[in-house]
């Protein structure tokens, strides 16, 4: 069995220009700490209007990319121009919303499947499979599926249906609020990885503790000591 991937989500939110250098440094330190504690990859979640915030947002991305050696993904772009800016800033993969018709196909044609992660957001099981199969045909090398509710957690049946239907890795994107949600997504949902909110990572006292919990549940994860 291949080891499951745990991907903490590091938010990048706008801040006053006068404080930006410090914010970029703090983000880089947090990312390095996540890597040192066992993150398999890191997802940078750019919040707000990326076009309006390109200068400081890309500075943050570059700071993180320079600090870590693990794969860095970025979410928040919504056009090929924004994906290009993120890739030029050093990210390894971009998360592309499947809800924008043709965008996954355009991005995959330009940068290749290894760079494109298609995002299926809010699709119930009945629609998730069809969307996932189309996104894979369009050239997405991986998929993130986000469906469920904050109170009940991720839609495990939808995750499993997508995992069974497509030949590319599937990452459970949420809502993930408890370690039990992570376990269910990996074990019963057959996901290849899970996106972890920073609130959950902090509540669990770090990535290493999340991995120990999963290893105790019989799930193969990397770097458990």
Per-state percent for the chain, helix, strand, coil, to nearest 5: 45, 25, 30
Nearest to 57 by CA among 3, 95, 20: 20
Residue 50 has pLDDT above 60, yes or no: no
Average pLDDT over residues 88-103: 94
C-alpha span between 181 and 169 (Å, rounded)? 19
Crossing angle of the two packed helices 125-138 and 103-111, in degrees rounded to 10: 30
Going by pLDDT thresholds of 50, 70 and 90, the confidence category of residue 31 is: very high
Domains of the chain by residue range: 5-216
pLDDT at res. 128: 86
Going by pLDDT thresholds of 50, 70 and 90, the confidence category of residue 13 is: confident
Q: Alpha carbon 81 to chain centroid distance?
A: 20
pLDDT at res. 148: 74
Report the length, in residues, of the chain.
Answer: 225
Across the chain, mean pLDDT equals 90
Quickly name the fold that domain 5-216 has. Answer: TIM Barrel (3.20.20)
pLDDT at res. 16: 53
Residue 127 has pLDDT above 90, yes or no: no
Tens of pLDDT, residue by residue over 198-219, are: 999 999 999 999 999 999 999 9
18 CB neighbour count, 10 Å cutoff? 7
Question: What does the H/E/C string look like for 81-128?
Answer: HHHHHHHHCCCCEEEEECCCCCHHHHHHHHHCHHHEEEEEECCCHHHH
pLDDT at res. 38: 95
Cβ within 8 Å of residue 164, ≥6 positions away: 190
Per DSSP, the three-state class of 186 is helix
- pTM: predicted TM-score of the whole model, two decimal places: 0.93
pLDDT at res. 18: 45
């Amino acid at each position: 069995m291949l080891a499951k991937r745990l991907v903490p989500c590091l938010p990048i939110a706008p801040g006053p220009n006068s404080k930006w250098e410090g914010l970029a440094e703090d983000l880089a330190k947090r990312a390095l700490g996540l890597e040192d504690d066992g993150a398999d990859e890191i997802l940078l979640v750019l919040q707000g209007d990326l076009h309006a915030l390109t200068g400081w947002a890309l500075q943050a991305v570059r700071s993180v990319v320079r600090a870590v050696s693990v794969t860095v993904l970025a979410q928040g772009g919504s056009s090929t121009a924004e994906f290009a800016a993120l890739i030029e800033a050093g990210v390894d993969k971009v998360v592309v919303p499947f809800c924008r018709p043709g965008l996954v196909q355009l991005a995959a044609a330009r940068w290749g499947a290894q760079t494109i992660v298609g995002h299926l957001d809010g699709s119930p099981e009945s629609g998730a499979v069809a969307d996932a199969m189309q996104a894979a045909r369009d050239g997405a090398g991986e998929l993130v599926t986000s469906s469920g509710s904050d109170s009940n957690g991720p839609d495990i049946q939808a995750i499993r249906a997508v995992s069974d239907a497509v030949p590319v890795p599937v990452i459970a994107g949420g809502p993930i609020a408890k370690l039990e949600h992570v376990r269910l997504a990996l074990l019963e949902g057959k996901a290849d990885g899970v996106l972890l909110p920073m609130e959950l990572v902090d509540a669990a006292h770090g990535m290493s503790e999340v991995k120990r919990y999963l290893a105790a549940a019989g799930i193969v994860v990397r770097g458990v000591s």
